[in-house]
Structure 1
Amino acid sequence: MDKAHNGAAVETDEREELCDYIDQSPTEHGVDVVALTARHGVGRYQLTDKWRKW
């Protein structure tokens, strides 16, 4: 999406808000993020790296 809009589709502040939402949502829904990331051998903020491209 960002590429199609010359890097201006999602601004830095919006990206940070989106990251906060992605970080908080699993915990709010009962997911033990620490245990989940430990099972996958990654840090908390690396959990979504597989799908994040911006």
Structure 2
Amino acid sequence: MQRSAKLSLEQQFQLQVHRKQVKSLDLEQAQQYLLELLRQMMLKDNQYKEQLYSK
């Protein structure tokens, strides 16, 4: 079953807030931000996998 790829209104708002914040970063800060975001996404993936396989 495939879920919709649409964002909720709250998620759209959060995206706009982050977009404004990211625009003010210099290159090094943006790279650090991107790596931290990727790390957090990987942790979330691990949590999903853990929940899926624990059932």
Task: Tell me which interval the TM-score lies in, with the shorter structure as reference length.
Answer: 0.3 to 0.5
Larger radius of gyration: 2
Larger relative helix fraction: 2
TM-score by length of 2: 0.37
The TM-score with structure 1 as length reference comes to 0.38
Q: Which has the higher contact order (CA 8 A, sep 6+)?
A: 1
